[in-house]
Amino acid sequence: MPLKESKTLKQKLLDKDLVIGSWITLAHPAIAEIMAGSGFDWLAVDLEHSVITIREAEEMIRVIDLNGLVPLVRLTSNNSDQIKRVMDAGSHGVIVPMVNCAKDAELAVQAVKYPPFGKRGFGLARAQGYGNRFKEYMEWQEKNSVVIVQVEHIDAVNNLEEIFGVDGVDGYMIGPYDLSGSMGIPGQFDHPDLLEAMEKIRMVATKFNKTGGIHVVEPDAHQLRQAIKEGQKFIAYSVDIRMIDQVCREGLDYVKELRK
């Protein structure tokens, strides 16, 4: 829990501010420290598509937090036990995969919030200042903890009004690969059916005043600019492994040309 915040992520989402973050899948604090110093607004420790342990996640959360960024965790699944542990470790919120109905959203919100707003168990850990800031944390989590639902299945698109109607859902993120896959058109991002689904998401989000965005998978500045131009506000820009891979390949491609 930050002692001072000029403007919380929750407030930025409410105000429709542009916030850009990224995923961390490599379990080394230096990765978090380097990315935290590059200008992102938030960083998410990705437990869904990595082998990061809960112990390693705590270290990453700590590094992100102490560098003045918002630490989030993308969960392996909508699991209340895991949510409790990453929140106690100091995450400011969770990004929940495969939220396909209102019940899924309700379970996530209840796991993040303490009673009477939720069902999260009480404990003393890093988030609560190891017991020294329990009261302050109680107030903070009620007002500022964040729940982001991932819209990554056609079922979610069809149930979006019910999902966005759940009190405590602060925003959403579209998973384009999974969404297109659930529609039988994996990776076909220009397919008319996917474009129609994307437009429906935007319309329902506007109706319910929900801020959302998309994962721009490749570290491509043009794609990032396009997402911003389209009105996306909560954007995950690439992922650590893709950034490293692309920079290595670009440099070596240049060398290959010189060797010809």
Active site (catalytic) residues: 49
73 with 94: CB under 8 angstroms? yes
Where residue 188 falls (left for φ over 0; alpha for ψ -120 to 50; beta otherwise) is beta
- Residue 204's nearest CA partner among 145, 148, 156 is 156
**DSSP H or E stretch at residue 13:** helix 9-14
- Dihedral sign for Cα 112, 113, 117, 119, please: positive
d(CA 65, CA 21): 14
Whether the CB-CB separation of 240 and 253 falls below 8 Å is answered with: no
Calculate the alpha carbon distances from 138 to 2, 105, 115, 135 in Å: 13, 22, 10, 5
